[in-house]
Amino acid sequence: MKQALRVLLAQTDIVWENPRENLDRIERLVTIHLSTEPDLLILPEMFSSGFTMRPEQVADADAVSWMQQRAFDWRISILGSLVESTMSGYRNTVFLVAPSGAVRGTYSKVHLFGQEREHYQAGENLLIFEVSGFQATVFICYDLRFPEMFRAACARGVEVFFVVANWPAVRQSHWKTLLPARALENQSFVCACNRVGKDPDNSYLGGSSVYLPDGRTLLELGCEEELQLAVLDRSELESFRSSLSVLADRRQKVYRCWDSELDV
């Protein structure tokens, strides 16, 4: 089993509703950082378009093809959210692409925010996958506010949570509070990739970051466009979990009784 996972966070300034420009921009930036030898590249929410409520303008299978080709060229896994067009409508979907170029899985955002509900369909399933020996999952932006999702994934063996976002500056303090909380309460790594810049409705302060299983900050980016590598060491996970038996001390039967009484 590998003892480390090398994650490259791409905190980009997304050009509004311009997939071609965004893909070219990411390609230029990532190429410069390939010498860091990442295992996985994580991109912000809707990295090719911005958080648009006009999915019909930007839904484009070419962006998935671009992910597949770049993953193959760079020999790394890529994780990023796109506007996905399906037979029944549009979804805000993360694609996980392997170094072979194959799509290993997808996750569609479960918790839709505000007007997003009028333009996108919500997902209902977890995506749990292995990367460099770690069990991982991914959530999108507003999902961060729902600890139930994180605990459900943790109960299924997840050790690393990836969060991709267009988290606005007006709620940046929430971002900085919730991320370490999700790490600490689940004794897991949290790797979060936000955007910077502006769109027609919001400005973004980045703050992409990686938190250790004890809630300490491993890496935190500023408010400018930048890429940084974080190395997740398995010993940090094992040491903290063995020192504090929070996960083993959960009382699932009691919680289920409460859920039943509350009819939730």
Amino acid at 75: R
Residue 45 is a catalytic residue: yes
Inform me whether the pLDDT recorded for 212 exceeds 90: yes
Which pLDDT belongs to residue 262? 62
Residue 154 is a catalytic residue: no
DSSP secondary structure, 137-154, as one string: EEEEGGGGG-HHHHHHHH
User: Can you tell me the distance from the alpha carbon of 165 to that of 158, in angstroms, rounded to the nearest whole number?
Assistant: 20
Inform me whether the pLDDT recorded for 263 exceeds 80: no
Which pLDDT belongs to residue 232? 98
Question: pTM of the entire structure?
Answer: 0.96
Q: Are 218 and 183 in contact (CB under 8 A)?
A: no
Q: What is the mean pLDDT of residues 152-179?
A: 98
CA–CA–CA angle 56, 30, 45 (5° rounding): 35
Which pLDDT belongs to residue 256? 85
Residue 109 is a catalytic residue: yes
Ranges of each domain in the chain: 4-262
Amino acid at 163: V
Q: Which of 17, 84, 116, 141 is catalytic?
A: 141
- pLDDT tens digits along 118-127: 999 999 999 9
- pLDDT tens digits along 21-78: 999 999 999 999 999 999 999 999 999 999 999 999 998 779 999 999 999 999 999 9
Residue 157, phi-psi category: left (phi > 0), alpha (psi -120 to 50), beta (remainder):
left
Q: Are 13 and 47 in contact (CB under 8 A)?
A: no
User: Can you tell me the distance from the alpha carbon of 224 to that of 27, in angstroms, rounded to the nearest whole number?
Assistant: 18
User: Can you tell me the distance from the alpha carbon of 29 to that of 34, in angstroms, rounded to the nearest whole number?
Assistant: 9
Domain at 4-262: CATH code: 3.60.110.10
- pLDDT tens digits along 76-94: 999 999 999 999 999 999 9
- pLDDT tens digits along 227-243: 999 999 999 999 999 99
Give SS3 for 127: coil
